[in-house]
Structure 1
């Protein structure tokens, strides 16, 4: 084994199945309680999971994302789409509402140490200065275990929360179908996201590591020469800097991007540490990896360390495959339709799930983000049954005793672009 198989767990309410909150062992009364999420993260930490992500958005959850809905709606009118979104949002038999992911991660961090905390933050309606400082704060509170799951918002009703821009209603099928308006919006959203991440990365470097000197005798708290203006001017943002938060323990928190096609792949190649992909078959995986290689040829990588490629999978785990299929069918009946997802949905035994993860690993995938269909039930299955199988397969020899998420994931220390040695190195390359 040259590199281990890294594991992340995606936390979202009662789980990724819309009917999961109705399970007997679900905790619907606790979904807005910090203690509930702390328990989940503590459980993941007990099994040596590398990181957890926390879902978030700037609008209420809706149901029906995924290929099944996209194909079914190809012939709908724009009005139909808007009504469908409204209806999905207005369903009263699904979880609605969530806690702010960054604030929640900051609440969890003092309670559970040694596991990556990666909240979702949307770039579309959020100023990168605020995002950068919030994540630096999380990196301090967690003592070096912070990350950022980058997300865009293309929904018209979410834009209306802010009133600063208008986004026309569209359907995901319009993007996959090559609609020019949808493609232009996609390019705008991910172009803005790329600038937002670059601004954040520059702000994270805007204080050198030794900028704070605290010389009581001379009355100098900081060395002003070691704070730097970032002077970023792009199509979407103009940011002077420096950050108001000193450089945090990791220097650069880990950046995680979920991507499904060319434009998001280019964002990931340029700015992410981890890109998560959603293959459904081996052929699909090969296609995605080819598209990522194409993106690497056309986009300059700014993030430094090599990009890790992770797969995504929704898992529902029972003792036997038959039991798992029965459990999924029961939840689908409660929901009134089959579970649809951008990622592969696997209802199976622990051995089946572990075999799928190992199969991806042996095809070159660096890690997997598991989306439990039911929380906490499938997280218990992951920690008690899946991870021991992976341990026995010898693929989980991760960095024991790591002092940060970057170290845990093998990224190493993040150099500061504004430190003199780095400036000199960059100038020599430019010349």
Structure 2
């Protein structure tokens, strides 16, 4: 008998919150993006709420046209190590780029975090979106690679990383003091990878972790992104404008898994939402409006600009019809750009409307309301298979996270939609994912006909 499907919850941790004006809120610590204790506290709150994973994003250059909380931030791999030290169960995930990293270094970093956290690490695989091209200039390159080339490199990159994670079979280390046998040489493997972008001998100089390999998270919604997700991702993070689009994407991506011999339960799709909860609907709306009142219209448009090809919105009046804006060819997140441009073409939006229309923290949607209203909407998306769970991008930290854990989680638990407690120790346990079999062990068994 199969286990009942349950909602997966991830907390997207970012300084004072995802709302572009959250740092200006009276309760906010503007320096929270480099306050390790603030992040540790958020992860502990999320763990109290039995969340699957606490997630930290990244950027590799300063983009002045973006969210202020990413101008001053930690390396996320270092940060999740600090988070792992003060938590016991919740997974810890971080973003790292396949375009501006080396596979051996990244494999070692995440394997290390996986050991330190006792099997709770996740790698958010990104190819790096960069509308300005600033990132390339920090890495001795003249220009940011084109979208499809970035994904071609990513395909090789992840193969190298996963191969390195399998360098040691699970029982390779003997630690036999009597015989002096520290490890079994027959259970250590070099990968000898040679491709278009990488040539890596191996092995990795760290053992397999308790969960075998860190969980792979991915957020690509373009065709190359979906192909990569179908092949290797175990969690996919997306954001769609409405439930019907989300259901269509969910069905399409899940159907592609069979092409790689995978089942639908081997990949979880998490939809990004920004809940604001109040004991009454009026209180929730007051919280929402307090943040909205702090917005500088042109500052919020800088955030939109990062997704729209680095458009200079400052030269447009806020009442300018958005259709009249000149958009350049985009080389960043194509799925986001295409969706946003389609909405601009179809709806009578003004330039000043764009932030509130496109970004959850600025939207007055069904996830702003009473605990029951928010729980109802979450259940609807889950039951109708628009999502397997949610990446919760709270507008204001820690307030909105605390409210959600206190007021919404108990309702989901009462309805049997969410766990009452953790039933395992690793992130794979929480997500219901099997420990990957070591490829070299599997090959031996195949060779010997077992």
Range into which the TM-score falls when normalised by the shorter chain: 0.7 to 0.9
Give the corresponding residue for 1:140: 115
User: 1:341: Cα distance to partner?
Assistant: 4.6
Aligned counterpart in structure 1 of residue 389 of structure 2, from 357, 361, 367: 367
Output one character per residue of 1:101-142: Cα deviation in whole Å (capped at 9) or x when no partner: 110111121211111001111221011111111111101111
Whether the 8 Å contact between 1:279 and 1:343 is mirrored in structure 2 is no
CA distance in 1, matches of 2:295, 2:219: 26
Give the corresponding residue for 1:383: 405
Give the corresponding residue for 1:282: 243
What TM-score do the two structures reach when normalised by structure 2? 0.79
Output one character per residue of 1:67-94: Cα deviation in whole Å (capped at 9) or x when no partner: xxxxxxxxxxxxxxxxxxx5x25x9x76
CA distance in 2, matches of 1:405, 1:340: 34
Whether the 8 Å contact between 1:211 and 1:222 is mirrored in structure 2 is yes
Whether the 8 Å contact between 1:260 and 1:278 is mirrored in structure 2 is no
Give the corresponding residue for 1:130: 105
Give the corresponding residue for 1:11: 13
SS in 1 for 2:168: coil
Give the corresponding residue for 2:232: 271
Q: Is 1:163 matched up with 2:140?
A: yes
Q: Is 1:413 matched up with 2:435?
A: yes
Give the corresponding residue for 2:124: 149
User: 1:342: Cα distance to partner?
Assistant: 5.9
Give the corresponding residue for 1:201: 162
1:33-52 alignment, distance < 5 Å? 33-52=35-54
Give 5+ residue unaligned stretches, structure 1.
63-85, 169-184
- Relative to structure 1, the CA distance from residue 354 to residue 200 in structure 2 (aligned partners, 3 Å threshold; closer, same or farther) is same
Output one character per residue of 1:145-199: Cα deviation in whole Å (capped at 9) or x when no partner: 111111222321011111145227xxxxxxxxxxxxxxxx221112222222221
355-364 vs 37-46, which moves further: 355-364
CA distance in 1, matches of 2:174, 2:280: 60
SS in 1 for 2:169: coil
The total of aligned residue pairs comes to 384
Aligned counterpart in structure 2 of residue 119 of structure 1, from 75, 80, 94: 94
CA distance in 2, matches of 1:6, 1:302: 19
CA distance in 2, matches of 1:144, 1:6: 18
Whether the 8 Å contact between 2:11 and 2:392 is mirrored in structure 1 is yes
Whether the 8 Å contact between 2:7 and 2:418 is mirrored in structure 1 is yes
1:165-314 alignment, distance < 5 Å? 166-167=143-144, 185-293=146-254, 295-296=256-257, 300=260, 306-314=266-274
What TM-score do the two structures reach when normalised by structure 1? 0.82
Output one character per residue of 1:224-271: Cα deviation in whole Å (capped at 9) or x when no partner: 221111122223222111111111111111111123232211111111
User: 1:327: Cα distance to partner?
Assistant: 3.3
Whether the 8 Å contact between 1:399 and 1:408 is mirrored in structure 2 is no
CA distance in 2, matches of 1:334, 1:106: 34
Whether the 8 Å contact between 1:38 and 1:111 is mirrored in structure 2 is yes
CA distance in 1, matches of 2:377, 2:220: 20
User: 1:95: Cα distance to partner?
Assistant: 5.8
Give the corresponding residue for 1:181: none
CA distance in 1, matches of 2:279, 2:421: 30
303-312 vs 388-397, which moves further: 303-312
User: 1:340: Cα distance to partner?
Assistant: 5.8
CA distance in 2, matches of 1:319, 1:376: 17
SS in 1 for 2:46: helix
RMSD value, Cα: 2.6
- Relative to structure 1, the CA distance from residue 34 to residue 257 in structure 2 (aligned partners, 3 Å threshold; closer, same or farther) is same
SS in 2 for 1:139: helix
Give 5+ residue unaligned stretches, structure 2.
298-354
User: 1:280: Cα distance to partner?
Assistant: 2.5
User: 1:100: Cα distance to partner?
Assistant: 0.9
